[in-house]
Homo-oligomer: A and B are copies of this chain.
Amino acid sequence: MKIVVIGGVAGGMSAAARARRLAEDAEIVVLERGEYVSFANCGLPYHVGDEIPDRTSLLLQTPESLGASLGLDVRTGHEATAIDPRARTVTVRSASGDQTLGYDALVLAPGATAVRPPVDGLDLPQVQTLRTVPDADTMRAMVDGGARRAVVLGAGFIGLEAAEALRGRGLEVDLVDLAPHVLPPLDEDLARLVDDELGAHGVRTHVGTAAQAVTATPEAGTAVEVRLDDGSVLPADLVVLSVGVRPDSRLAEAAGLELTPQGAIVVDATQQTSDPHVWAVGDATAVRHEVTGVLAAVPLAGPANRQGRRAADALLGRLTPERAARGVLGTAVVRVFGLTAAITGASQRTLRDLGVEHHVVHLHHGHHAGYFPGAEPVHMTVTFAPDGRLLGAQAVGRAGVDKRIDVLATALAAGMTMDDVAELELAYAPPYGSAKDPVTMAGFTAQNVLDGTLRLWYPRDLDEVLARALVLDVRSAAEFADGHLPGALNVPHTALRSRLAEVREAAAGRPVRVHCASGFRSYLAHRVLDQAGFDVANLSGGMLTLRAARPDLTLDRGAA
């Protein structure tokens, strides 16, 4: 059997390696147009930032090592230029000219290419993507060569990593995104924390705006300047282009394979394309989102590796139905200086955009027991359906964030309800968690929302609340004096039972909207008021969430 794999990084190389382990006698050729195979593309920003100083540690395999350990025929500098599905041949261009390779099975793993928006000046040599080892080499050389200012276009995962890396090398960094906040996959009520962290480390953020033009400025102190839509002009020695990627499906399209309207290669649950002898994997393929059902390219390394493994099983006739492709969750994590931000499943924004009815809860529980030194809050949002099914989760914090998102990603994969989440039995000792873990607390809170024990109000309701309700602030008098919502009544939660008449009088028939710092004390107050017959709701996530969602908010100060 002759297997040809186009693309020698994550998904392609996983397919080739798995195929060899299952079929010692197959002829397996891997075509890679670049100079390197199996390199650590997720490590590139850390090499630029010198956290991974040794370049060779990014080169996980070479054609020689893969030949020796797996008997693979790996050809770098070989670009597939055409596929003839009828003849089952691939045309390959290399330094030694064109050639034609026959195949019994073809695996396409061409990956994605950087989106290049129609902005003047993106072809200047100071404008760099960060997707390959040579990209990283160039960027390091520019830093080593004295670049002092960088503009990063796009504040997604790679943009944030690039900004941190360059800042770590001492550059001044401006970070630009068209979205209303950095890290657009994150909802606005958590993204603010990431923005604060960037600011605390000297990265200037420009959101809701995009680059209009990059211009060479040889007479100035820096090499170029980046003009933004909002009129700002940012001088730079280096511009990082990280506004996103799109599937590299040119070959597949030319070969007549079915693509989605957005240009991703359509595959079935066995990774097979519309041609029965061609399989496709990785960033170029369309995958179904497990929660939303949306079909799209999702450029993530974990799914790519599994897809490669699956394609090999499938083309060798070894794939069982249990191992067919499932939907993806889009689970992702990024380090931003001392902060970790992570997501899985559907965001609030996605659910709103798709018109999916859902609830959301906000939590700020410690990553381990509060009485054990060093507890850090895990700022977390969890979305779930009216029937209780978990839909997604996001978290930001200084510790324990990736763990909670991994647990909830596992719960999502299992189709768990919030009752299931509340019953999760997680490992607890004071250095690691709490008897009531943030995940478990999300489950409890959701249960209360679902059965009516807890009614929530949200930062988006603030204007209406201020206009039409009594805001009841149940924090301590000192917390209240330090900053409170205009017109709020302060009754500390421990005094509420004895001061109900006062609350009733102040409400004067209006609804009562209660809050505290993070939502727990006000939940207790909410229960008291609810049972006393008030129209009451509790601010989800308390002032911590409100201030992150509404950074413009001005608080009153002084005692009640």
Contact = CB atoms under 8 A, between A and B. Distances in A.
Interface in A496-526: 497, 521, 523-524
A67 to B, nearest CB: 9
A344 interface: yes
Interface stretch (A200-208, A249-257, A332-340): A332-340
Interface string A412-429: 011111011011111111
Interface in A220-251: none
Contacts of A213: none
A488 interface: no
A24 B528 contact: yes
- Protomer copies: 2
Contacts of A340: 432
A69 B402 contact: no
B24 A527 contact: yes
Given A335-B432, A411-B414, A302 B426 contact: yes
A397 interface: no
A427 B414 contact: no
A2 interface: no
A429 B42 contact: yes
A52 interface: yes
A129 B427 CA distance: 23
Interface in A316-333: 318, 320, 322-323, 326, 328-329, 331-333
Given A411-B410, A528-B24, A372 B46 contact: yes
Interface in A41-63: 42-43, 46, 51-52, 57-58, 60
A532 interface: yes
A408 to B, nearest CB: 8
A164 to B, nearest CB: 11
Contacts of A437: 302
A51 B368 CA distance: 14
A21 B526 CA distance: 9
A264 interface: no
A195 interface: no
A239 to B, nearest CB: 23
B424 A409 contact: yes
A411 B420 CA distance: 11
Given A24-B531, A407-B410, A332 B371 contact: no
A145 to B, nearest CB: 25
A359 interface: no
Contacts of A436: 302, 305
A237 to B, nearest CB: 26
A301 interface: yes
A71 B306 CA distance: 55
A75 to B, nearest CB: 19
A349 interface: no
Given A58-B371, A68-B494, A411-B410, A427 B344 contact: yes
A428 B302 contact: yes
A406 interface: yes
B429 A369 contact: no
A431 B398 CA distance: 13
A432 B372 contact: no
Nearest to A417: B322
A389 B35 CA distance: 43
28 contacts: A10-B435, A21-B453, A24-B531, A24-B532, A40-B371, A42-B428, A42-B435, A58-B371, A60-B371, A65-B494, A69-B521, A69-B524, A300-B428, A302-B425, A302-B437, A305-B436, A306-B422, A318-B451, A329-B425, A331-B427, A331-B428, A335-B431, A340-B432, A402-B432, A406-B406, A409-B426, A410-B411, A414-B420
